[in-house]
Amino acid sequence: MTNSTDPANGADVRDALDGTEAPDSIDGANVIDAPNVIDGVNKMNGVNVNDGAPGPAKKANRPTRRYWRTGFLRGAIELRHLLRNPREMFGQLLNVAVALMVAGFISDDVPGTHIPMAHLTLAGFAAYLLFQIGLVNLPQILVTEREEGALLRLRATPGGIPAYLAAKCLLVVVMAVGTLALLLIAAALLVDGPLPHGPGGWLTLVWVTALGLLAVVPLGAAIGAVLPNPREALALIMVPVMGLLTTSGAMFPITSLPVLVQKVASVFPLKWMAQGLRSALLPDAARAAEPAGSWELPTVALVLTAWAVLGFLLAVPLLRRAARRESGSRLTARHRKAALSGAIAA
C-alpha cells in the first residue's frame, strides 16, 4: 500500500464526499442529471418513478425487462471471467483456507459448553466473508470499473447503467453464496465444521445470509460510489473493516471485550450477522456464550434491516451521482493523476 499524499486526491475525496455540487469545482459543477440514468436507478430499486422523461409511457415496461435481461447476461459473463481468473479467485479461496486452518488448530470448547470453539469461529468467518464481499470486494470492483471507464461507457449506452447494476447484484449474490457454501462444505468435510441443525437452522441460515447481504451490499455500493481510486480505496476500507472484525465477536466470544467496545461494535452489522449465523449453525446450548444469553434473532433482523434501509437511502443518490459525473475529461484527468502519482512513487 503506497502512502500517497497527493493533495489532488485528497481534494477529490472531499469533493466526492460533499453531497452538493461544489460550484467552483470544474469537475463537479454543471454535470447533467441525465433522465435515463435517474430512471434506470429508480427502476433498479423498484421505485418506478417517471420523472417526466421523454418517451412513450406504454413502452416503459418493456425496456425495464430488457435491462434486467441484459444485466443478467452481463453478470453471467462477468462471473465467467471471475472464475477463469485465478488471481481474482485467489483472495476468496485464501479466506476460506485461512478459516479452515484456524478452525483446525482450535481445539478448546466454547466457555461453559461442550461445543467446539472451532464452530463458533467458522460461523464468525462465514459472517465476515459475507461482510467482506459487500463492503470490500464490491466497492473495489465499482471503483476499479469507474476508473477504467466502464461506468462511462455504460452511461453512454442506452440502458447501460441499469444493466450494470443488475449485473453487479447477480455477481455479488453468486460470489457470496458460493463462498459461503464452499466454506461450510469444506469445513464440514475437513475439520468437522458446523452445519445447521434441522430445517429451522437452514431457514435461519438463509434469511440471515439474505438480510446480511441486503445490509452490506447497498452500503458497499454507496462506498464504492464515493471512494477516490482503487489503490486508496482498499486502504480506506480495510482499517474500519479490520476494527469491526476484532470487536464484533465474530472470531471469539464478545463477552471477553470491554463493555464500551461491545456497545460500539453492536451498532454495526457484522456482530449481528455473526450472531445470526451462530444461531443457525450452533446448537442452542451455545447461547450460554452470548452476551445476552440468547440469540436475539429479532434484534438481528431489526439491525440488519435498518442497515439495509440506510444503505439503499445512501446508495441510490450516490450511485446516480457517480454515474452522471462521469465524462471523458474526468476520466482522462484521473488517468493522468494516477500516472503522475505512480511516477512519483516509483
Partner 1 sequence: MTTTGHTSTTPMALRATTTNTPLTTTQPIIRARDLTMSYGGVDVLHGIDLDIHRGEIFALLGPNGAGKTTTVEILEGFRQRSAGEVRVLGADPERGDDAWRGRIGLVLQSWRDHRRWRVAELLAHFATYYPDPRDPAELLSLVGLTDQADRQVDRLSGGQRRRLDVALGIVGRPELLFLDEPTTGFDPEARHDFHVLVERLARDEGVTVLLTTHDLVEAERLADRIAMLVSGRIRACGTPSELARGAAAQAEVRWTTDDGTARRERTEDPSRLVWELHRDAPGPIADLEVRRPTLEDTYLHMVHREDDGTDGGGDSGVGEGLGRGRDGHGDGETRAA
Q: Binder to partner 1 among 47, 335, 339, 345 (CB under 8 A)?
A: 335
Q: Which stretch binds partner 1 (CB under 8 A): 22-30, 126-134, 197-205, 207-215?
A: 22-30
Q: Which stretch binds partner 1 (CB under 8 A): 23-31, 176-184, 199-207, 271-279?
A: 23-31
Q: How far apart are CA 256 and CA 244, in angstroms?
A: 15
Q: Which stretch binds partner 1 (CB under 8 A): 24-32, 122-130, 201-209, 236-244?
A: 24-32
Q: How far apart are CA 299 and CA 98, in angstroms?
A: 30
Nearer to partner 1, 197 or 330 (CB): 330
Q: In sequence order, what are the residues at sequence separation of 6 or more whose Cβ sits closer than 8 angstroms to the Cβ of residue 228?
A: 9, 12, 13, 16, 143
Q: Which three cell numbers stand for residue 194?
A: 458446523
**SS3 call for 283:** coil
Q: Binder to partner 1 among 81, 89, 111, 267 (CB under 8 A)?
A: 81
What count of other Cβ atoms lies within 10 Å of the Cβ of residue 235? Answer: 13
Q: In sequence order, what are the residues at sequence separation of 6 or more whose Cβ sits closer than 8 angstroms to the Cβ of residue 18?
A: 28
Residue 291 DSSP label: T
Does 326 engage in binding with partner 1 (CB under 8 A)?
A: yes
Q: Quick one: 87 exposed, middle or buried, by C-beta within 10 A (0-12, 13-18, 19+)?
A: exposed
Does 63 engage in binding with partner 1 (CB under 8 A)?
A: yes
Q: Which three cell numbers stand for residue 183?
A: 466454506
Q: Which stretch binds partner 1 (CB under 8 A): 105-113, 171-179, 288-296, 325-333?
A: 325-333
Q: Binder to partner 1 among 74, 271, 320, 321 (CB under 8 A)?
A: 74
Q: How far apart are CA 148 and CA 145, in angstroms?
A: 5
Q: Binder to partner 1 among 332, 340, 342, 344 (CB under 8 A)?
A: 332
**SS3 call for 116:** strand
Q: Binder to partner 1 among 3, 20, 30, 107 (CB under 8 A)?
A: 30
Amino acid (one-letter) located at 2: T
- DSSP letters, 140-151, are HHHHHHHHHTHH
Nearer to partner 1, 33 or 284 (CB): 33
Nearer to partner 1, 60 or 173 (CB): 60
Does 174 engage in binding with partner 1 (CB under 8 A)?
A: no
Nearer to partner 1, 10 or 158 (CB): 158
| Phi, psi torsion values for 116, nearest 5 degrees | -60, 135
The residues in 95-154 that bind partner 1, with binding defined as CB under 8 A, are 145, 148-150, 152-153
Q: Which residues bind partner 1 (CB under 8 A)?
A: 23-26, 29-32, 34-36, 39, 53-55, 63, 70, 73-74, 77, 81, 85, 145, 148-150, 152-153, 155-160, 163, 326-329, 331-332, 335
